[in-house]
Structure 1
Amino acid sequence: MGKKNRQAASSKPVQADKPATLKDLLDPGILEKLKAQADQMKAEEAKQREAAQEKAAEERKAEQKRLDNNFGHLLENSKLDWRKYK
């Protein structure tokens, strides 16, 4: 019996040394709800980033189209080496 008591006594302080985490203290149902909410927020954030990227791409495309119709811009940015086209 002495050996069993020593083993049990030695294993309890190891567990007592670890502080209780919030995960251990929360109800499993609440923990699942929080995880689901976090996943939902990540998905919404990803949708917002994707929408912002699409909007930026559309703005770049519209700006490029506007510049392509601007003769002054095309003249300023064209290469003036006409010998290539002879």
Structure 2
Amino acid sequence: MGKKKKAAPAPSSASTEVKPATLKDLLNSEVLDKLKAQASEMKAAEVKKREDDRKQAEEARKAEQKRLEGNFEYLLNNSSMDWKKFK
């Protein structure tokens, strides 16, 4: 049997390729600017919300710690029983 010849790749020229239109190309620059501004506002709002949630969790943790520090039973159970180091 004879050897099979490999098919030559089809010549492609990059300059004649037609690129599909993107949404950015189709939109008016004014609308595009508004969308970018809205996206940045949404990101800023998300960052602010995360920061507020973090602060609220921190305050809740501090309030719980303060409440537990006033509870004698909690302090007794969680204190070190090695009294020699306080001599």
Per-residue deviation, residues 28-60 of structure 1 (Å, max 9, x unmatched): 000000000000011111111111011001000
C-alpha displacement at 1:68, in angstroms? 0.3
Q: TM-score with structure 1 length normalisation?
A: 0.82
Q: What is the count of residue pairs matched by the alignment? A: 75
Which letter maps to 1:65? K
1: CA distance, partners of 2:86 / 2:47: 48
**Displacement over 4 Å in runs of 4+:** none
Answer 1 or 2: which has greater helix percent: 1
Tell me the distance in 2 between the aligned counterparts of 1:78 and 1:23. Answer: 64
2:63 aligns to what? 62
Superposition CA RMSD, Å: 1.5
Q: Secondary structure at the match of 1:56?
A: helix
Q: Counterpart in 1 of 2:21?
A: 20
